[in-house]
Homo-oligomer: A and B are copies of this chain.
Amino acid sequence: MLNYTRIMRDKSFLMIPGPTPVPESVLVELARHPVGHRSKEFSDIFMSCIESLKWLGKTKNSDAFIYTASGTGAMEAAISNVLSPGDKVLSLVTGVFGKRFGQIAQAFGATVEMITADPGKVIDLKILEQKLSLDKNKEIKVVTITHSETSTGAASDLEKVAKAVRSHGALLLADAVTSLGCMNIEIDNWGLDVVISGSQKGFMIPPGLSFIYVSPKAWEYYKKSKCPKFYWDFGKHKKSLDEETTPFTPNVSFVYALKKSFEMMQKEGFENIIKRHDRLKTRLRAGLKELGLKLLCEDKDASAAITAIYPPDGILVSDIRSAYKKDWDITVANGQDILKDKIFRIGHLGFVSDRDIEMTLAVTKKIFEKLT
């Protein structure tokens, strides 16, 4: 059997939901010698990234901050900056990351109620609306939602969820880790209060940075929040941002990489990025179905970033992943938690083109011809 990992170095290809492929121009930025983070040169690059973040999230009203941390750090930031111990939180759980959002709130002393969708499904909007309408005393302070659930590939209708939460009055914290930069998000128009994301996803750079948006309403919650925080403290980041800097030493190299990545994204154009991800998803799903494979999510719930696939009867997920890796030097992801070994996942977010999808389908065809 051919073994590409042995015979050709540097040919590995990631089709997982992060880390994602990184453009050469971005990699080259990472190899640049870091500049001092208190220099004018760095401030200019940094502030340009902040502006680009606002462009990507379609917001003029929210502040945007960059953390040197992975996505979970930004989730903790979202929680610890707006909550106080004892606050009631409603967590909409569509998988591992939705659950994690609730668990972080629990760790910070909140009383968390989780509504959990079946694997691959999203929360029924009617159930959410009913839940919120029953909360006459407005005890629910915060609702957490995962826009694109990385563990299943199910995408919630964030606009409609936000509308329901807004009419109740609670604060909405949205995990957009695998959706921002892949799917349309309109922070101001939809009324999203806190939105988080991570660098190794639609942003096309390696893992190492995370991002957070803070709306004026979220700032009101911040003022009342009694959860302890320091590294994540919105106030410290805001004060520094007003001075065009960061409160703590940032990952200078990654900020340069991010700047380059944003240049590429802006050249492609917002609408084109969204259209591309939608096209890749649609083509991949159609192609996989043509191969006779069963997908975890229905078309209407499908994330533009990742697709989860059931193994055909009698074939192990481990054998499928091994075939991708050993024969073709492609990494695809296993399921997580209760879906471990039950599904495999193909990421198609960030620096991914139509060509990559055709290649993936061609290879997938070969793999299942051999395995079945």
Contact = CB atoms under 8 A, between A and B. Distances in A.
Interface in A51-102: 68-73, 76, 80
A80 B18 CA distance: 29
B80 A73 contact: no
The winner among A22, A80, A249 for most chain B CB atoms within 10 A is: A249
Nearest to A198: B249
Interface size class of A (residues with CB under 8 A): 35 or more
Interface stretch (A28-36, A260-268, A295-303, A305-313): A28-36
A200 B28 contact: no
Given A104-B230, A107-B229, A230-B76, A70 B33 contact: no
Contacts of A252: 19, 206-207
A35 B73 CA distance: 21
A33 B21 contact: yes
Contact of A31 (B31, B68, B231): B31
Given A70-B249, A251-B70, A10 B33 contact: yes
A11 to B, nearest CB: 10
A200 B249 contact: yes
Nearest to A201: B249
Given A200-B249, A249-B200, A254-B208, A231 B72 contact: yes
A12 interface: yes
Given A68-B68, A70-B249, 10 more contacts: A14-B34, A21-B33, A27-B30, A72-B249, A73-B248, A76-B230, A109-B228, A206-B253, A208-B208, A227-B228
Interface of A: 10, 12, 14, 16, 18-19, 21-22, 27-28, 30-39, 68-73, 76, 80, 103-104, 107-109, 198, 200, 206-208, 227-231, 233, 247-254, 331, 333-334
15 contacts: A27-B33, A28-B31, A34-B206, A37-B207, A38-B334, A69-B231, A70-B249, A72-B230, A73-B73, A73-B231, A107-B230, A207-B249, A207-B250, A208-B208, A208-B251
Q: Which 8 A-B pairs have the closest CB atoms?
A: A31-B31, A208-B251, A19-B34, A30-B30, A72-B248, A34-B206, A206-B253, A108-B228
